[in-house]
Structure 1
Amino acid sequence: MGTDIRPIIGVTLDSEQPGGYSKYPWYALRTNYSAAIVASGGLPVALPHHADLAEAYLDRIDGLVVTGGAFDVDPSLYGDDGRHATVTLKAGRTAAELALVRGALARNLPVLGICGGQQLLAVVLGGTLIQHIPDTVANALAHEQPNPRHEPGHEVSVVAGTLLHRIVGATTMHVNSAHHQAVRDAGPFAVVDATAPDGVIEGIEDPRYRFCLGIQWHPEFHIDQGDRRIFDALTAACVR
C-alpha cells in the first residue's frame, strides 16, 4: 500500500513517572504496536494524554488503537465502591483514553482495544470488570503468564459468526496473556466473541458500530496468524 493512501491510526501512549529513561515524566510505547500497524498498511500516530484535545485528535485520525499497560481502570468508573489492593491507577491516561474512545464511537471511527484497552472499551460500552482474576475466578489460568510475552500463554475459543471470527477465520487462537483483570460484563449491547478455557472473557465487540473490537491479548506480537489479520481488518475499516 502506498504511503499516500495509508489511513492514519491513532495509538495511545503509556505514561511513566521520573526514573529509568528520564528524570522527568515520560511517555512509552513498545515499537511492535507501530510496526504492526505499518505492516497492515496504516500510518501510526502517537496520542499524548490531553483529554481536552480528544476531538482535535479525532478530527485528524481515521481509527484508534487503545494500548495496554501496567495499570487499571478506576473501579468507580464502572460502579464498584471498593478497590482491590492490586489496582494501580493512571488517572491522566484513563481520562484521555475515555475521551478518545467515547469520541471515536460517537463518530463511528474504528476502535481496537488491546489488553487494558479492551477493559476500558468495555467500561465505555457500559460493562464492568473483574478487579483481580485470582480472587474471583476459580481454577483460573496464569493470565499473567510466566513465559515471555512473545510466546503463547494459552488458547482462546472464538465464537462463530462474530466479527472476530470473520476476521481471523478460526475458532481457536494461541495468544499471550499479561493481565490480572478482565471483563466481567461486556455491556448491554456488546457481544463476547472469545473466551479462555477458564471462562475469562478474552474478546468483545459491539455490532452497533462498523468496527468496535476489544481483545485481551497482544496481537502486535504476531504470535497467531489471526493476529496479523486483526490489524489488517482494522486498517481496512479505516479506509474511507
Structure 2
Amino acid sequence: MASNGSEPAAPLIGVTTYLEQSQTGVWDVRASFLPKVYIDAVTDAGGVAVLLPPQPVSPDIARGVLGALDGLIVSGGADVDPARYGQSPHERTGAPRTDRDDWEDALITAAVELELPFLGICRGVQLLNVALGGTLVQHLPDVIGTEAYQPAPAVFGEQQVSIEPGSRLGALLGQGDAPLPVHVYHHQALDEVAPGLTVTGRTADGVVEAVELDSVPFGVGVQWHPEENAADRRLFAGLVDAARIHRETRTHPRSQS
C-alpha cells in the first residue's frame, strides 16, 4: 500500500477518546475530546492518529473498526466502573462512564482476537487488565500511604520504574538495569493481574506500572503517561513499527489508496 505510488503510507493508529461536556465559541455540548499530546506522540513516531470516540458497539462493530486500522491506543481518563471487576465503588472512585467502558472493552477484546498491535495508557492498562479478568486497587494511597502518584489536580508525579530485562518493553526502551523516569497521574492501579498478562515494570513501592500480553505480537500496557514526554517517543515508535508489520502481513489488507 502506498500513498503516492512510491512511499509507503503511514500506519493508521486508532486512539480512543473521552466524551465530555465541552465549550467552543457559543456552544456548550457533549463532544469527543482528546489531549493533543496523544496525537503528537503518534505523528512524531510516524503514524496517523484516528480518533475513536465512545459510541454504541457490538463485537462485529469493534472488529470492523479495527479491521480498517493498523494499531490501537486505549488512552487515559476516568476510573473504570468497579462493577466490571465485581466490587462496590470506593468513596474516591469516580462516577461510572459505562459508555466508554463498553466501547473500549469491545475494542480491546477485538484487538486481542485480531492480534492488532495495541498500547494501553493509564486507564487503558487498567481496562485491559479488567477486560481479561483482573482487578484494580481503587484508591492507591490506602495501600501505599502516599499521594505521590497523583499529587494534585492536573499535576503529574514523577516515579522511577524498573523494567524487566528481556521483556518487549525492555527491548523497546533499552534501559538495561537503569530505572525509567516517568510521568504518573493515577490514584488506582492493577491489583490481581489477569491471566495471560506478564508484569514487566514496577516502582520501588511495588506498584505495577507495565504489563504485556504474551499471546499477541505487540500488546503492551503502561500505567504512566508516555505521551507527556515529547523527548522520548520510543514506546510509540515501537507501536507504529508493529502496526506497519501488521499491515504488511495480515490476510486481508485494506484497498489500495
TM-score (norm 1): 0.90
- What is the SS of the residue equivalent to 1:232? helix
Q: Match for 1:143 among 119, 125, 149? A: 149
Does residue 159 in structure 1 map to residue 164 in structure 2?
A: yes
Q: Match for 1:7 among 8, 11, 28? A: 11
Asked whether the equivalents of residues 150 and 157 of structure 2 are also in contact (C-alpha less than 8 Å), the reply is: no
Deviation at 1:7, TM superposition (A): 0.8
Give the distance between the partners of 1:211 and 1:32, measured in 2 at CA. 22
Q: Match for 2:28 among 17, 23, 31? A: 23
Asked whether the equivalents of residues 157 and 185 of structure 2 are also in contact (C-alpha less than 8 Å), the reply is: no
Deviation at 1:31, TM superposition (A): 0.6
Aligned pairs (5 A) from 1:35-184: 35-50=40-55, 51-52=57-58, 53-69=61-77, 71-80=78-87, 82-88=88-94, 89-135=96-142, 137-140=143-146, 142-146=148-152, 153-170=158-175, 171=177, 172-184=179-191
- What is the SS of the residue equivalent to 2:130? helix
Q: For the structure 1 residues 175 and 189, does the alpha-carbon distance in structure 2 shift closer, same or farther, using more than 3 Å as the test?
A: same
- What is the SS of the residue equivalent to 2:63? helix
Q: Match for 2:226 among 215, 219, 229? A: 219
Give the distance between the partners of 1:62 and 1:186, measured in 2 at CA. 27
Q: Match for 2:212 among 191, 205, 215? A: 205
Give the distance between the partners of 1:152 and 1:91, measured in 2 at CA. 28
Give the distance between the partners of 1:24 and 1:132, measured in 2 at CA. 31
Q: Percent identity?
A: 37
Asked whether the equivalents of residues 23 and 29 of structure 2 are also in contact (C-alpha less than 8 Å), the reply is: no
1:3-54 Cα deviation digits (max 9, x unpaired): 742111100001113x544422111101110111111111110012122432
- What is the SS of the residue equivalent to 2:184? coil
TM-score (norm 2): 0.84
Asked whether the equivalents of residues 12 and 48 of structure 1 are also in contact (C-alpha less than 8 Å), the reply is: yes
The higher radius of gyration belongs to 2
Give the distance between the partners of 1:66 and 1:192, measured in 2 at CA. 18
Deviation at 1:224, TM superposition (A): 6.4
- What is the SS of the residue equivalent to 1:25? strand
Does residue 187 in structure 1 map to residue 194 in structure 2?
A: yes
Give the distance between the partners of 1:85 and 1:20, measured in 2 at CA. 29
Asked whether the equivalents of residues 63 and 109 of structure 1 are also in contact (C-alpha less than 8 Å), the reply is: yes
- Which residue does the alignment assign to 2:254? none
- What is the SS of the residue equivalent to 1:9? strand
Deviation at 1:145, TM superposition (A): 3.1
Q: Which runs of 5+ in 1 are unaligned?
A: none
Deviation at 1:75, TM superposition (A): 1.1
Give the distance between the partners of 1:185 and 1:211, measured in 2 at CA. 22
Give the distance between the partners of 1:147 and 1:20, measured in 2 at CA. 20
Asked whether the equivalents of residues 152 and 174 of structure 1 are also in contact (C-alpha less than 8 Å), the reply is: no
- What is the SS of the residue equivalent to 2:191? strand
Give the distance between the partners of 1:79 and 1:152, measured in 2 at CA. 29
Q: Which runs of 5+ in 2 are unaligned?
A: 249-257
